């Protein structure tokens, strides 16, 4: 599947908007997106993903100790134009880097900000990072100063209102007595896709930068170290879940993923100002209107636990 479709794939259980009654529309001639962007859900999830990464970056950058930069392809892609977003991934594919897996963000000590910005400028700016191989000396220097790398995930939920938020983990028969919750429990979790496990682990091993998964909800966020997630999987605390994803072009794939109870992670952040959900739309060359919900604004504060983890890793490196 093309990287553009992979990035915009949506779990089918989350698809609520669907265009019906337009069988005669020639989607192959849809001007905006040759991959037949057929529903508002894909645009909304794109907006949500951009918003969640912006909230993480904003929370980290407010600190007097740390700052974050986008690093992976999705993190440095255009944010306000889905056509430019598509062309960006076209360029990535043409460069032979479409299958590349890099964490979305890198986090550094504030004291290194000037040096990092100078290295990024040498490379042509943030948007050029995914098009530069990691054997490049400037990229190597950037990575050598990183405290951690972040794989970003997000969910369209208010975590505190989820029915099983606050539930206590108890021994489960299906987990051979290990603690957990019933299979259909609804609570904040931190997600890791099976298809990303090995690539992220290889990236971490090669670059010697610890990866953390940071999962943002509408009102809060949680984090977990990739090494801790691997341990929980290997020791049988977390089972894989099969879910079906649909791409903008209509293709569906079944993916295995792991949902780590927030209990196993650490509080990452809390919303001090919620985002505004505004109506936006795009129009194809036939005049067909495709409305979607756009996320904008809002602010998140980094929790003391998260700052403490960053501080501990930074001190260990000194």
pTM of the model: 0.87
| Residue 256 near residue 192 (C-beta atoms within 8 A) | no
Distance in angstroms (rounded) separating the CA atoms of residues 198 and 93: 21
Distance in angstroms (rounded) separating the CA atoms of residues 204 and 211: 6
Q: Which residue has the tokens 């919620």?
A: 274
- pLDDT value of residue 34: 42
Residue 171 has what pLDDT?
Answer: 95
Q: Which helix (H) or strand (E) holds 209?
A: none
pLDDT tens-place string over residues 35-81: 555 556 767 777 788 888 889 999 999 988 999 999 987 777 776 67
List, in sequence order, every residue forming a beta bridge with 302; answer none if it has no partner. Answer: 269
Among 7-21, 57-71, 119-133, 258-272, the least confident range: 7-21
pLDDT at 9 over 80: no
Where is mean pLDDT largest: 17-31, 94-108, 165-179?
165-179
pLDDT in tens, 128-139: 888 888 899 999
- Please state, in angstroms and as integers, the Cα–Cα distance from residue 40 to each residue in 129, 178, 200, 265, 294, following that order: 30, 41, 30, 32, 10
Contacts of 71 (CB under 8 A, 6+ apart): 102, 103, 104, 105, 106, 129, 130, 149
Length of the chain: 318
How high is the pLDDT of residue 98? Answer: 65
Q: Would you say residue 19 has pLDDT above 70?
A: no
Q: What are phi and psi of 304, to 5 degrees?
A: -60, -35
Q: pLDDT digits over 193-215, tens only? A: 999 999 999 999 999 999 999 99
> How many Cα atoms sit within 13 Å of 218 on the Cβ side?
13
DSSP 100: -
pLDDT at 237: 95
Strand partners, 269: 221, 302
Listed range (19-23, 156-160, 178-182) with the worst mean pLDDT: 19-23
pLDDT of the residue at 285: 61
The pLDDT value given to residue 70: 92
pLDDT > 90 in the chain, percent: 54
Please determine, for residue 26, whether its predicted confidence score (pLDDT) is greater than 70.
no
* pLDDT tens sequence across 144-156: 999 999 999 988 8
Q: For residue 6, is pLDDT > 60?
A: yes
Question: How confident is the model at residue 51, as a pLDDT?
Answer: 85
Q: Exposed, middle or buried: residue 25 (CB in 10 Å: 0-12, 13-18, 19+)? A: middle
**CA atoms of 281 and 192, how far apart (whole Å):** 31
**What is the pLDDT, as a whole number, of residue 1?**
65
Distance in angstroms (rounded) separating the CA atoms of residues 281 and 136:
40
Nearest to 266 by CA among 205, 316, 308, 211: 308
What was the pLDDT predicted at 276? 85
pLDDT of amino acid 21:
40
Contact by Cβ (8 Å): 204, 143? no
pLDDT, mean over the chain = 84
Confidence of residue 243 (pLDDT cuts 50, 70, 90): confident
Distance CA 48, CA 275 (A): 10
pLDDT the model gives residue 108: 97
Rounded CA separation 261/139 (Å): 34
Cβ atoms of 38 and 27 closer than 8 Å: yes
Mean pLDDT of 176-187: 93
Residue-level pLDDT at 72:
83
């Amino acid at each position: 599947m093309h990287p553009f479709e992979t990035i915009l794939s949506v779990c089918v259980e989350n698809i609520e908007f669907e265009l019906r009654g337009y069988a005669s529309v020639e989607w192959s001639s849809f001007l905006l997106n040759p991959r037949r962007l057929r529903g508002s859900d894909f645009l909304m999830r794109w907006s949500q993903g951009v918003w969640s990464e912006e909230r993480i970056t904003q929370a980290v950058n407010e600190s007097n100790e740390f700052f974050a930069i986008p690093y992976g392809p999705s993190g440095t892609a255009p944010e306000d134009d889905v056509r430019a977003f598509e062309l960006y991934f076209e360029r990535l594919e043409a460069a032979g880097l479409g299958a590349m897996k890099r964490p979305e963000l890198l986090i550094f000590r504030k004291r290194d900000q000037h040096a990092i910005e100078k290295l990024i400028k040498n490379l042509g700016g943030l948007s050029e990072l995914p098009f530069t191989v990691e054997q490049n000396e400037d990229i190597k220097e950037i990575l050598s100063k990183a405290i951690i790398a972040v794989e970003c995930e997000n969910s369209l939920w208010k975590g505190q209102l989820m029915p099983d938020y606050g539930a206590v983990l108890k021994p489960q028969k299906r987990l051979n007595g290990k603690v957990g919750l019933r299979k259909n429990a609804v609570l904040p979790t931190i997600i890791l896709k099976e298809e990303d496990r090995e690539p992220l682990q290889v990236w971490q091993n090669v670059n010697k930068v610890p990866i953390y998964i940071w999962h943002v909800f509408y009102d809060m966020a949680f984090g977990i170290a990739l090494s801790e997630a691997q341990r929980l999987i290997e020791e049988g605390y977390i089972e894989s879940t099969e879910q079906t994803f649909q791409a903008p072009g209509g293709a569906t794939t079944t993916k295995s993923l792991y949902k780590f109870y927030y209990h196993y992670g650490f509080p990452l952040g809390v919303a001090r100002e919620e985002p505004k959900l505004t109506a936006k739309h795009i129009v194809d060359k036939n005049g067909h209107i495709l409305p979607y919900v756009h996320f904008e604004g809002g602010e998140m504060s980094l929790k003391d636990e998260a700052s403490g983890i960053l501080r501990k890793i930074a001190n260990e490196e000194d």
